[in-house]
């Protein structure tokens, strides 16, 4: 070999994090197993308690669940079809079917072996929003105490616990959308979700068919999958919901008292005078309006920042930290970690328009990472990092002072 100079490109020095798929949806649904004859052999193409990932409706059809399906599988097909009516082909949807003995509160019970947590783990924590689609078992009678099935009220608590478990144990934050099942049509009797503290749970009332026992969670999840994390599902400029007609109970949505349903903290379809079609009422989660994470876009924004911060900082775990003579963190190290975290947030969030920045301030990147150098890491082995990201405001109520202009 002739004498030469060889230069290698170093890797792993920038602490970069790959682009994130913010619209991955999980669906746990009542279903029945499907067996098809393929090449003369009987093959189970859709098994219960088994997670599947699809990226288009055709892939569900290939598993034997289609427009001709009946019972629970017909509801599952409808849900997935409506998801892809809103979400672009290629959107990731993780599906797991369960038997009708698995009622809604069990589906989202984190301790259930074949509950939603199994689906979350199978997706390796990629799921950002989990939707639940229920078909009642034959003979099931709902206990309707507050205008919806009482099991849904229990499911709200369980879903919050499941989402917190996914966040704390798997570093995979998500939120859950439940159906406001067996809605009685009496909006004033609904539980006041805005008096709770379940800021990882939303409940939807309204469907594409009249007198539905469930709700069009597929449509709602499809809209979420199609928009960036900071965007409101109720943003009028994003366009109307794909469905031609939406119902609340037995009547069209505009006649179903959407205002009262919204005021109780639920999501429902609504209309606007002078605009055709239906729109989602708001982004409410089942918590107080004063909660920092009371809205879906706030939840999605902070959850994305959480995932980025974890993936960036995990590389520093058990790393050597240079310290001063007093056992405090050396300032150059502090600055390097702060810069690394901010850089990734800027690349994956600010540049994507996910964070609210002041357009008049070129230095405002919508993120601030701060590490107090006075920490005695030698004594505590603990590195405390403060990370702040700036949300957007949302024009939910527009007040106009209108009058005649007169000459002065």
198 and 162 within one domain:
yes
The answer as to whether 294 is a domain residue is no
Cα separation, 199 vs 160, whole angstroms: 7
> 301, 175, 158: which is closest to 229 by C-alpha?
301
Q: How many structural domains are present in the chain?
A: 2
Average pLDDT value for residue range 375-389: 88
* Helices within 63-211 (DSSP H only): 71-86, 104-107, 116-122, 150-170
120 and 183 within one domain:
yes
204 and 69 within one domain:
yes
Cα separation, 269 vs 282, whole angstroms: 9
Where in the sequence is the domain holding 169, given as residue range(s)? 25-284
The answer to whether 290 and 275 have CB atoms below 8 angstroms apart is no
85 three-class SS: helix
229 and 342 within one domain:
no
Last residue of a domain, one of 231, 255, 284: 284
The answer as to whether 405 is a domain residue is no
Last residue of a domain, one of 258, 284, 310: 284
159 and 238 within one domain:
yes
Per the DSSP assignment, residues forming a β-bridge with 202 are: 177
- Whether 314 has a pLDDT exceeding 60, the answer reads yes
pTM of the complete model: 0.92
pLDDT digits (tens, 9 = 90+) for 214-241: 999 999 999 999 999 999 999 999 999 9
* Token pair listed for 332: 């150059």
335 and 209 within one domain:
no
Last residue of a domain, one of 284, 313, 344: 284
- Whether 61 has a pLDDT exceeding 60, the answer reads yes
pLDDT digits (tens, 9 = 90+) for 258-280: 999 999 999 999 999 999 999 99
- Whether 395 has a pLDDT exceeding 80, the answer reads no
Cα separation, 171 vs 179, whole angstroms: 26
pLDDT digits (tens, 9 = 90+) for 163-184: 999 999 999 999 999 999 999 9
129 and 91 within one domain:
yes
* Token pair listed for 340: 């690394």
Tell me which H or E stretch contains 297. Answer: helix 296-313
Dihedrals φ, ψ of 337, to 5°? -70, -45
The answer as to whether 290 is a domain residue is no
The answer as to whether 347 is a domain residue is yes
Q: Check residue 2 and give its pLDDT.
A: 56
pLDDT digits (tens, 9 = 90+) for 115-156: 999 999 999 999 999 999 999 999 999 999 899 999 999 999
The answer as to whether 406 is a domain residue is no
Q: Check residue 110 and give its pLDDT.
A: 97
176 and 32 within one domain:
yes
Q: Check residue 190 and give its pLDDT.
A: 98
Residues 6+ apart with CB under 8 A from 221: 25, 27, 83, 86, 87, 129, 131, 177
The answer as to whether 368 is a domain residue is yes
170, with CB counted inside 10 A (0-12, 13-18, 19+), is middle
The CA–CA distances, whole Å, from 319 to 128, 170, 333, 377, 383 equal 30, 22, 12, 12, 11
What is the DSSP code string of 219-268? HHHHHHHHS-TTS-TT-GGG---S-S--EETTEEGGGS-HHHHHHTT-B-
317 and 185 within one domain:
no
The answer to whether 87 and 222 have CB atoms below 8 angstroms apart is yes
Q: How confident is the model at residue 14 (pLDDT cuts 50, 70, 90)?
A: very low
310 and 274 within one domain:
no
pLDDT digits (tens, 9 = 90+) for 183-203: 999 999 999 999 999 999 999
Placement of tokens 């790393």 in the chain: 319
Q: Check residue 7 and give its pLDDT.
A: 44
254 and 121 within one domain:
yes
The answer as to whether 7 is a domain residue is no
- Whether 399 has a pLDDT exceeding 80, the answer reads no
348 and 219 within one domain:
no
The answer as to whether 402 is a domain residue is no
The one-character DSSP state at 12 is S
Residues 6+ apart with CB under 8 A from 151: 103, 104, 105, 142, 143, 181
Residues 6+ apart with CB under 8 A from 302: 292, 293, 389, 391
Cα separation, 177 vs 156, whole angstroms: 9
């Amino acid at each position: 070999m002739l004498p030469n100079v060889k230069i290698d490109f170093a890797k792993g020095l920038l602490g970069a994090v790959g682009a994130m798929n913010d619209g991955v949806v999980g669906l746990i649904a009542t279903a029945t197993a499907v067996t098809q004859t393929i090449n003369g052999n009987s093959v189970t193409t859709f098994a219960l308690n088994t997670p599947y990932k699809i990226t288009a409706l055709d892939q569900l059809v290939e598993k034997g669940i289609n427009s001709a399906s009946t019972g629970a599988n017909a509801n599952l097909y409808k849900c997935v079809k409506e998801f892809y009516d809103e979400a672009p082909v290629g959107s990731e949807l993780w599906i797991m079917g369960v038997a009708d003995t698995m009622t809604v509160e069990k589906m989202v019970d984190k301790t259930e072996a074949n509950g939603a947590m199994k689906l979350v783990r199978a997706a390796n924590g990629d799921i950002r929003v989990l939707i639940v689609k229920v078909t009642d078992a034959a003979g099931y009678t709902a206990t309707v105490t507050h205008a919806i099935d009482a099991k849904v009220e229990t499911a709200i608590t369980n879903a919050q616990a499941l989402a917190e478990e996914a966040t704390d144990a798997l570093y995979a934050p998500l939120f859950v959308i439940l159906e406001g099942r067996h809605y009685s049509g009496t909006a004033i009797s609904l539980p006041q979700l805005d008096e709770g503290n379940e800021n990882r749970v939303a409940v939807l009332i309204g469907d594409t068919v009249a007198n539905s026992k469930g709700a069009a969670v597929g449509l709602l999840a499809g809209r979420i999958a199609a928009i960036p994390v900071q965007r409101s599902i109720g943003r009028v400029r994003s366009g109307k919901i794909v469905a031609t007609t939406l119902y609340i109970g037995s009547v069209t949505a505009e006649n179903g008292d959407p205002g009262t349903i919204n005021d109780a903290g639920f999501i429902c379809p609504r209309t606007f005078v002078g605009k055709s079609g239906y729109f989602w009422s708001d982004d409410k989660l089942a918590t107080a309006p004063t909660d920092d994470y009371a809205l879906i876009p706030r939840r999605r924004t902070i959850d994305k920042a959480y995932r980025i911060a974890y993936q960036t900082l995990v590389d520093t775990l058990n790393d050597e930290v240079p310290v001063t003579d007093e056992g405090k963190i050396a300032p150059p190290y502090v600055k390097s970690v702060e810069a690394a975290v901010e850089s990734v947030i800027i690349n994956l969030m600010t540049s994507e328009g996910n964070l609210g920045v002041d357009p008049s301030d070129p230095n405002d990147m919508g993120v601030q990472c701060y590490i107090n150098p006075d920490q005695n890491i030698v004594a505590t082995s603990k590195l405390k990092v403060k990370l702040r990201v700036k949300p957007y405001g949302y024009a939910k109520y527009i007040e106009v002072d209108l009058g005649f202009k007169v000459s002065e």
